[in-house]
Homo-oligomer: A and B are copies of this chain.
């Protein structure tokens, strides 16, 4: 049962080079002296570490010298325009792929419908499409370092394994290693909402925020919980499936079998369903029953339509209760919300705020901002975040610094 987190001397270097790399990345171009200050490492160590990062092509020296009294500092910056990655999201009916440089700029993107629903077929299409995409766009970068792939489903990011994704009948499939071997690139897998939260942490609205919660409302409702700068995953790596928290003991039956799950009230289909139902009952509204979309609903609500407002406020009420519980249980510094309905901020926010204020501990909700997420769709940015994190956490970085054995 050996819980050995044994440490050895090499790991020290791994941790420190990752730290230096992260500092350069996050705090802009830095001189070696400044790095030494920030990292609390000795200048000599910075010299050694930065040399290796330079040799690996992960950072570069800038030319411009800042005018100080003495020897000009050489600023170190990340080599983040010529290095990049392929990020993908395998959604319920489409596959999106993007090429990012490490800076986070999207250099190319494309998407394809996925009509197959059987395991091997999906795997084949995924591999084929990825291969083609890399062949087509790969040379826009000097070097492609990895592939980050996200999907709505239960994922074990450690093993690169898809535990369960019903849409394509995936079950305990070691997709990561399978792709990695065939593509000749490291492949990182993750749940899309959790990866989205990570993206908010790294380059979005949760920057500098070690404890935050992202709630994303689309077809379902999911959350990504940042705790101490890390995604909280729990025993099975899948904490955040808040859609099936029961909020109405005698509520509607959910497809999961239980009653009154959050997803039966707060999720696009549920919201539209309830709207349609109320319309059919003859409640007055400017909405047309035949072309009901979230977009239309939001516009109507903002225009003052009582039915639209009512539906959204009802959803906000239950979402707010769930948020309040999460605030009590995770004590975050910030709440982020994503999803089409969030454009009705003016309608939703007051309800959410009231719920949280009334239903969570004062010391937990004081100064707790509720904000729009920077990325409103989980998209491919989550895949980018997976790779960025891997660089920061030294496993991928180490791979890039040791000239690989295979090539």
Interface residues of A in 327-366 (CB under 8 A from B): 328-333, 358-364
Q: A12 in the interface, Cβ–Cβ < 8 Å? A: yes
Chain B residues in 8 Å Cβ range of A256? 361-362
Q: How large is the interface on A (under 10, 10 to 19, 20 to 34, 35 or more residues)?
A: 35 or more
The reply to whether the CB of A196 lies closer than 8 angstroms to some CB of chain B is no
Question: In angstroms, how far is the closest chain B Cβ from the Cβ of A44?
Answer: 13
Residues of B contacting A4 with CB < 8 Å? 19, 38-40
Contacts A5-B15, A154-B363 hold; do A330 and B246 have CB atoms under 8 A apart? no
Which among A238, A257, A258 has the greatest number of chain B C-beta atoms within 10 A? A258
Residue A76 interfacial (CB < 8 Å): no
A130 to B303, CA, bound (A): 68
> Are the CB atoms of B208 and A235 closer together than 8 Å?
no
- Determine the chain B residues whose CB is within 8 A of the CB of A258 once the complex forms: 358-359
CA distance A328 to B333 in the complex (A): 21
Contacts of A15 in B (CB 8 A): 5-7
Picked from B225, B235, B239, B246, the residue with its CB within 8 Å of the CB of A333 is B235
Which A228-243 residues have C-beta < 8 A from chain B? 229, 232, 234-236, 238-239, 241-242
Q: Please measure, in the bound complex, the distance between the C-alpha atom of A41 and the C-alpha atom of B258, giving whole angstroms.
A: 49
Q: Smallest Cβ distance from A170 to chain B, in angstroms?
A: 15
| Contact among B6, B211, B328, B359 with A241 in the assembled complex (CB-CB below 8 Å) | B328
User: A244 contacts B321, CB within 8 Å?
Assistant: no
Given A227-B234, A326-B329, A331-B238, the answer on whether A244 and B12 have CB atoms closer than 8 Å is no
Contact with B along A214-227 (1 / 0, CB 8 A): 00000000000101
Given the known A-B contacts A12-B11, A360-B244, are A1 and B331 also in contact in the complex, defined by CB atoms under 8 Å? Answer: no
Taking a contact as CB atoms closer than 8 A, the residue among B1, B239, B241 that contacts A208 in the complex is B1
CB distance from A243 to the nearest CB of B (A): 9
On whether A332 and B208 interact (CB within 8 A), knowing A3-B229, A16-B7, the answer reads: no
User: Any chain B CB within 8 A of the CB of A2?
Assistant: yes
A245 interface hit (Cβ, 8 Å): yes
Known: A4-B38, A5-B15, A7-B16. A242 touches B359 (CB 8 A): no
- Is A291 in the interface zone, CB < 8 Å from B? no
B38 pairs with A19, CB closer than 8 A? no
Is A374 part of the binding interface, using a Cβ–Cβ cutoff of 8 Å? no
Per a CB cutoff under 8 Å, which of B5, B7, B242, B330 touches A234? Answer: B330
* Residues of chain B contacted by A16 (CB below 8 angstroms): 6-7
Judge whether A210 is part of the interface by a CB distance below 8 angstroms.
yes
Give A50 Cβ to nearest chain B Cβ, in Å.
15
Q: How far apart are A11's CB and chain B's nearest CB, in angstroms?
A: 7
Beta-carbon contact of B246 and A359 below 8 Å: yes
15 contacts between A and B (CB under 8 A): A2-B39, A3-B22, A4-B40, A5-B19, A11-B12, A211-B235, A239-B328, A244-B360, A244-B361, A245-B359, A249-B321, A256-B362, A257-B362, A325-B325, A325-B329
- Interface of A toward B, CB cutoff 8 Å: 1-9, 11-12, 15-16, 19, 22-23, 38-41, 154, 164, 208, 210-211, 225, 227, 229, 232, 234-236, 238-239, 241-242, 244-246, 249, 256-259, 321, 324-326, 328-333, 358-364
